[in-house]
Amino acid sequence: MTRTRTLAATCAALLLPLLASAPSEAKNVTKLEPWKASNRYLAKADIDGRSQPKLEPRAKTNHVRKGQWVKISCQTTGQSAFGSTVWSKVGRYYVPDQLLKTYTDGRLRGAPSCGRSAPSAPAQGRCTAVTLYGVRGSGEPIAGPYGMSTTVGRTVERAVAEIRRKGRSVRALNVPYEAASVETIISDPSRFQRSMEFGKILLNAMISKRVKQCPRTRIGVVGYSQGAGVASETLRGLSVPALRRVRAVTLFADTYSAGRSEYTVTPNPFRPSDTDADRSGSGILGDRRLPRQIPYKWDVCFVEDLVCDGRRSSLGLLAQASVASVHTRYKDFVIAGFTLPQLQGLLMGRTILR
C-alpha cells in the first residue's frame, strides 16, 4: 500500500506541471471579460484584413466572415474606423475592433500590444452647437465640400453657412465608408451590400459617440442615393438617446423611401414649375418611414426616379436606375433660383436650431 501511494504521488508530481502548462480550451466570449489567448470573439460583419491598422489599402478581402468566431492575438491603435481607433490582429491581419463583439469600445484588459501604434486619425473635434453628417452616393469620391462630393457636400455647405450666420458653432463630418460603385451591383453584389452595411455601422457609431461626448449638440444628416439608404436605415436603428438629438434630415433619392408622405419633396424634372408632383412609387429596396421623433425631415425624390419612386426590385434594376439621367440631376436642378442642394441646405440651417 505504501509503495502504491508513493508511485501515485510521484506520477502526480510529474503530471501536474504538464497539466498546468497545457493550453486552455478555446472559449466563445459572450460578455465583457479580460483578454485570454484562447478567447474567441464574434465577427459582426464580413471584414477585410489590413497589413496596417488603417482603412486603406486592404490586404485581404473577407479575411473574417460575419458570424465567425476568431481569436485576437494583440491590439493597437490606428486610424479611426467605425467610431473607434482600436484595431485587433486576427491571424496575419489587422481588423477594426468595432466589427468584433468584444463588449467594450476600448482595448481589452490584458490584451498585449501589437507594437508601435500607427498615428490616430483626427477625432470628431470639440463640441459644437450643431454636428452635420454627410453620406455620399454610389461611386462618389471623397471630394468636394467637406469630402462629401457634390449633392451632399453642397447641401451641407449651405447649411453650415446659415448656421454660422446665426452665430452658432457647427462641425461637418464626412462618413468615410466605401460608397461602392454602381457597377459592383452587377459584378459583385455582396461588395455593394457590405458597403451599405459598413456605412450603417460607421454612421451609427459616429453619431452615438458624438452624442455621448457632446450631449447637447444637435445632429443633422444628409445622404444621397446609396448614402441616403445608409442614413435612412441608420436612423431607424439609433438608440433612443442618440435619436433625440437628431433634429434635421435631408435624403436625396432614398433607396428605402416610404413614398408619398407629409415629409416628401417631389419635383418634376420634366416640368420644373411642378414642385409637388404626384408620386406613386417608393424606394427600390423597400418602403420604410423615417422615425417620427425627427422634427424636420425631407425625403427628396424626383418623380420617375426609380431609385426612390419605383417598385420593389432586384439589385440589377437598381443598377439601371442609378445611372438613369433623372437620378443624377439633383445637384443641378433649380427651384425658385436655388439648386436643390442650396435650398435644402438653407432649410436645414434655419430649422435645426429651433
> Residue 320 — pLDDT band, cuts 50, 70, 90?
low
- Could you give the percent of the chain with pLDDT greater than 90? 59
- Could you give the percent of the chain with pLDDT greater than 70? 86
> Residue 29 — pLDDT band, cuts 50, 70, 90?
very high
> Residue 319 — pLDDT band, cuts 50, 70, 90?
low
Distance from CA of residue 14 to its chain's centroid? 55
Interval 128-173: pLDDT, tens: 999 999 999 999 999 999 999 999 999 999 999 999 999 999 999 9
Residue the block writes with cell 484588459: 109
84-90, strands of its sheet edge to edge = 74-81, 84-90, 93-96
Q: Which residues contact 354 (CB under 8 A, 6 or more apart)?
A: 247, 295, 296
Kind plus residue range of the DSSP H or E element containing 76: strand 74-81
Asked whether residue 105 carries a pLDDT value surpassing 70, the answer given is: yes
Q: Which residues pair with 43 in a beta bridge?
A: 100
* DSSP code for 59: S
Average pLDDT over residues 77-99: 89
Rounded to whole angstroms, how far apart are CA atoms 81 and 121? 9
* Residue 269 near residue 333, CB atoms below 8 Å: yes
Q: Which CATH architecture has domain 130-351?
A: 3-Layer(aba) Sandwich (3.40)
Parse the chain into domains and list their residue ranges. 23-121, 130-351
* Residue 62 near residue 90, CB atoms below 8 Å: no
Count CB neighbours of 172 within 10 A: 22
DSSP 3-state of 286: coil
